[in-house]
Chain A
Amino acid sequence: MSSSTKIILDKILWKGKSKWLLIGAAIGAFIGLFLLLATLQFYCDVQNLLTGDASPDDQYVQINKKINLFNTLGIKSSFTNEEIEALNQKPFIQSVGRFKANDFKANASSDMLGFYTELFFESIPLDFLDAQEPDFRWSEGQNTLPILISKDYLALYNFGFAPSQGLPQVTPSTISKLNMEISISGNGKKQEFSGRIVGFSERINSILVPPDFMAWANANFGGEAGPTSRLILKVDNPMNKELQAYLKEQGYEVSTGRLIGSQFGVLLKVVLSVLWAMGFLILALSMFVFILNFQLLIAQSRPEIRLLLETGHFPRHISRLLTKRFSVLFCSVLVLVFGVLIGTRAWQVSYFDNQGFELENGLDSKVWTIGLVFSAGSLILNIFNIKRAVGLQSK
């Protein structure tokens, strides 16, 4: 086909046809596709934030004995070996990890941030940690002390402590670069370490040091072995009725923060699923509008298409012209949607980062996959439709 023929054909097929049909179709497709992919991305983010990397987080339960007046008067509420052994025997408990507390004095200070604080440490077996930081190791003679803190502490610092003390807010990545002086003392001895926060735990609400350090420090600066005041249980299902009944019967208390968190998370996921389903519905509707509008446009050109065929034009040339127009329009919409998504994504990541949440840069692979698969589907469907519409005119 020569270029002048193409210009004439374009004139026949498009001139005088309502532009609003095409514009409406494009806007519909844009909104639908954007809504679907934005909600999907948001859904992925929430899922990542709620579960972190270790998704079976809900399988862990932290328990302690109820605190009563006797404890306040000095009797420690620790677990005995027999009690721990009894827990270990239960079929609904996979394994039991002990929280070891420090039996020595510890304090931290930082000249850079200008603070001094007394503090406590706990340690748990590494298997029970959600944050598997390779730096979270200690061996005797090592002067740097790796520390894991709860993500909640960072939030408390950023939104409670720092504003009231005129201290700067920090992101997880900046705080990891700060060094502070940790001093431990007991048994008439004192030693300084260079402390560094190497990671954040969403599972454990504590300040954790490596178990090797805890054992060494307790042996050298404190009593023999620290009492076990808290336990972490790995279970099949934290909602298991037998488990709940047993814990209640023994008078053990479950740290509920995490459970509330996971209930909230479940609720949020349900809400997002509904949103996602609605996004999908809107997308389906808008795709429908898009394709219908385009079909309407072809229907408007039906007499012209018919006459073109009658005067000897090949059906495939005509459908190719229509398909090209459609594909160009659709691909522009697609590029625009992903452009806007990536643009808002950068803003969203930095916003969340300021709030202390770490999001991955860029779009989730699910978003790319679903967006592209869906687009390919619509394209193929419409190309098929165009062929059929042109074919009908040649009958």
Chain B
Amino acid sequence: MIELNNIRPTPLVEMPNGISPDSGIFATQCHFEKGKHYLVNAASGKGKSTFLHIIYGLRTDFDGQATIHGKDVRSYSPSDWANCRQRQLSIVFQDLRLFPQLTGLENILLKNGQTGHLNEAEIMEMADRLGMSPYLNQTAATLSYGQRQRIAILRALCQPFEILLLDEPFSHLDEENIKLASTLIYNTCERQGAGLVMVSLGEEFFFSYDYKIDL
């Protein structure tokens, strides 16, 4: 579904040893398919977020070609991206990117409202599984980082997607919560028949992966 062909992000090209010769993603060919689980491992500063942002259309400063369903992402219009981000790709940003002035629930409803993917009971049930029900009506600004991280995960699961992009999604969660979140993500992907791309600093969490790639 997603194909990367000889991608070289400009910031990494300019750094000495920026792109590792063994990289399974940059300066080579790779593809990501619906229904498969991918783990992308790298030390920090090697371009993990850059890689996800290229796929998600947030940056265009790279050489090479990236396509989604065969269409070059450089030819995507803003509306094409909106469509893609509503129905094909979902993401948990490393920096979360919630609206701090909205409550946790409003952040989730705003996303869910784009497609009407879930009903309110389903959203509540999901929030309950992550232990977030008591905090849904607090503004995001007043939540702890770990709580915000769970709101961001819930938001990402409130839409149809073919591949879920996870950018160090559990960095501020304890093991018990990581287990709960992993299970919820796993189940949701399964139900949607979707794949996931987990970007991490080396941890594998509670998933089984079809492919493990070093960056």
A in complex with B: yes
Q: Which of B22-30, B77-85, B193-201 contacts A (4 or more CB under 8 A)?
A: B77-85
Shortest distance between the CB of B75 and any CB in chain A (Å) = 14
Q: Tell me the complex Cα distance, A310–B155, Å.
A: 13
Q: How large is the interface on B (under 10, 10 to 19, 20 to 34, 35 or more residues)?
A: 20 to 34
Answer whether residue B213 sits at the interface, using C-beta atoms and an 8 A cutoff: no
Is B97 within 8 A of A307, CB to CB?
yes
Answer whether residue A9 sits at the interface, using C-beta atoms and an 8 A cutoff: yes
Q: Which of B110-118, B123-131, B143-151, B175-183 contacts A (4 or more CB under 8 A)?
A: B110-118
Shortest distance between the CB of B119 and any CB in chain A (Å) = 12
Q: For A250, what are the chain B residues with a Cβ–Cβ distance below 8 Å? A: none
Q: Indicate with 1 or 0, residue by residue over B77-114, a CB within 8 angstroms of chain A CB atoms.
A: 01101101110000000000101011000100111011
Of A4, A16, A312, A316, the contact of B101 (CB 8 Å cutoff) = A16
Q: Which A307-323 residues have a C-beta within 8 angstroms of B?
A: 307, 309-316
Count A/B pairs, Cβ under 8 Å: 57
Q: For B113, what are the chain A residues with a Cβ–Cβ distance below 8 Å? A: 1-2, 4-5, 8
Q: Tell me the complex Cα distance, A309–B83, Å.
A: 11
Is A11 within 8 A of B102, CB to CB?
yes
Return the chain B residue nearest A394 by Cβ. Answer: B78
Return the chain B residue nearest A16 by Cβ. Answer: B101
Answer whether residue A15 sits at the interface, using C-beta atoms and an 8 A cutoff: yes
Return the chain B residue nearest A314 by Cβ. Answer: B82
Is A8 within 8 A of B106, CB to CB?
yes
Is B99 within 8 A of A12, CB to CB?
yes
Q: Tell me the complex Cα distance, A304–B106, Å.
A: 14
Q: Tell me the complex Cα distance, A391–B79, Å.
A: 10
Q: Tell me the complex Cα distance, A4–B111, Å.
A: 11
Q: For B114, what are the chain A residues with a Cβ–Cβ distance below 8 Å? A: 5, 312-313
Is B85 within 8 A of A311, CB to CB?
yes
Instruction: Count contacts on A: residues with CB < 8 A to the other chain.
Output: 22
* Interface residues of chain B: helix, strand, loop or mixed (majority): helix
Which of A1, A15, A394 has the most chain B CB within a 10 Å cutoff?
A394
Shortest distance between the CB of A190 and any CB in chain B (Å) = 94
Is A310 within 8 A of B106, CB to CB?
no
Is A311 within 8 A of B97, CB to CB?
yes
Is A312 within 8 A of B82, CB to CB?
yes
Q: Indicate with 1 or 0, residue by residue over A243-279, a CB within 8 angstroms of chain B CB atoms.
A: 0000000000000000000000000000000000000
Return the chain B residue nearest A304 by Cβ. Answer: B99
Return the chain A residue nearest B87 by Cβ. Answer: A312
Shortest distance between the CB of B128 and any CB in chain A (Å) = 20
Q: Tell me the complex Cα distance, A2–B120, Å.
A: 13
Is A391 within 8 A of B85, CB to CB?
no
Q: Tell me the complex Cα distance, A2–B116, Å.
A: 9
Shortest distance between the CB of A12 and any CB in chain B (Å) = 6
Of A9, A15, A307, A391, the contact of B78 (CB 8 Å cutoff) = A391
Is B99 within 8 A of A307, CB to CB?
yes
Q: For B79, what are the chain A residues with a Cβ–Cβ distance below 8 Å? A: 314-316
Q: For B84, what are the chain A residues with a Cβ–Cβ distance below 8 Å? A: 312
Is B78 within 8 A of A312, CB to CB?
no
Q: A4-B113, A8-B106, A391-B78 are in contact. Are A312 and B99 (CB under 8 A)?
A: no
Q: Tell me the complex Cα distance, A310–B113, Å.
A: 15
Answer whether residue B159 sits at the interface, using C-beta atoms and an 8 A cutoff: yes
Return the chain A residue nearest B155 by Cβ. Answer: A311
Nearest 3 interchain pairs by C-beta: A312-B85, A5-B113, A394-B78
Residues of A within 8 A of B (CB): 1-2, 4-5, 8-9, 11-12, 15-16, 304, 307, 309-316, 391, 394
20 pairs, A vs B, C-beta closer than 8 Å:
A1-B113, A2-B116, A4-B109, A5-B109, A5-B110, A5-B114, A8-B102, A8-B106, A11-B101, A12-B102, A16-B101, A310-B58, A310-B85, A310-B97, A311-B111, A311-B155, A312-B82, A314-B78, A316-B79, A394-B78
